[in-house]
Amino acid sequence: MTTAGLPARLVRSREEGRRARRDRLMRGLAMAAAFVGVVPLFAVLFFVTLNGLGALDIDLLTRPPRALGIGGGASSAILGSLQMVALAAVIAVPAGVLAGAYVSEFAGSRAAAAVRFAADVMVGIPSILIGVFVFTMLVLPFRQFNAFAGSVALAIIMVPVILRTTEEVLRLVPRGLREASLALGIPIWRTVLSVALRTALPGILTGVMLALARAAGETAPLLFTALGSRLVNVGDFTRPMDALPIFIYTNARQPYPALNEQAWGAAFLLLLFVLVTNVALRGRAMLRTLST
């Protein structure tokens, strides 16, 4: 049907009606997509909290697991995760921040593109492949599973996240700050360290915390490197060491309900750490926005 003989007002009315229907349709599709994306998150939070909160007690936090039999707690896994993630941060944070500064401040376009591409590929590599690589480099030659290899594997996972975050945040630093520093005769490297990185420090810390949260939940690399241990290991990175993801994986596979409950409790602890980290980052960002 043509609209040549219809009044212009009626034509506009029909066109506006079609646009309104299309707008409602697209709004509905977008809302449905948001619902599909959010519901699994809340389902996981609810399910882990429901099963893990009841298993969380003082024994789980303070007692080591028994070498044989059922009972004990997850203190060795908690201490192991804290130690290996901390050592991974010591390795990854300087490397990631300096690499991001190099890409943003010093590298040419081709070198920056190559490093950026490598970091993006590293972010997407399955963590189990990193575990196999570190197993070949740091476990097989010494014929011993060890916590240091686990920390190196976690550091490899953390570096590209910190690198890309640092690069993007440094791009937001006003060029005028660098030019003012250079005008005072300060060398470029000192300008980057004292002006650019200091100005971008809140954003860099955000990237570091996100990398820590990801590393704390990795299981596959630690199975190939740190292996896990029911003995409490404090400070000896040459021997196997337990971690919360390994503790969850091991106890969840056991046919004993008591050990399954401990796995749920450890899963709730790990989830709580990730949630607290992300909430702290969001709160910090909101406070910074309000202060500006």
pLDDT in tens, 5-52: 556 666 577 777 788 888 899 999 999 999 998 998 899 999 999 999
CA dist 243 and 227 (Å) reads: 9
pLDDT, residue 68, reads 60
Any domain includes 45: no
Any domain includes 186: yes
Q: Please provide the average confidence, as pLDDT, over all residues in the chain.
A: 89
**Per-residue pLDDT tens digits for 116-148:** 999 999 999 999 999 999 999 999 999 999 999
Any domain includes 269: yes
Any domain includes 123: yes
The answer to whether the CB of 270 falls within 8 A of the CB of 244 is yes
Mean pLDDT across the stretch 155-169?
A: 96
The answer to whether the CB of 151 falls within 8 A of the CB of 139 is no
pLDDT, residue 206, reads 87
pLDDT, residue 286, reads 65
CA dist 215 and 85 (Å) reads: 7
Which range has the worst mean pLDDT, 64-78, 143-157, 240-254?
64-78
Helices of type H across the chain: 8-52, 58-62, 75-101, 109-124, 127-134, 147-171, 175-183, 188-191, 197-199, 201-216, 220-224, 244-252, 257-291
Q: Write down the residue that tokens 């014929």 correspond to.
A: 143
**Domain CATH for 264:** 1.10.3720.10
| Burial of residue 200, with CB atoms counted within 10 A of its CB: 0-12 exposed, 13-18 middle, 19 or more buried | buried
Domain assignment of residue 181, given as a range: 76-291
Question: For the chain, what is the domain count?
Answer: 1
1: pLDDT strictly greater than 50 = no
115 confidence band (pLDDT: 50, 70, 90): very high
The answer to whether the CB of 213 falls within 8 A of the CB of 274 is yes
Name the pTM for this structure.
Answer: 0.86
Any domain includes 37: no
Any domain includes 165: yes
Any domain includes 267: yes
Percent over 70 (pLDDT), the chain: 91
Any domain includes 172: yes
153: pLDDT strictly greater than 60 = yes
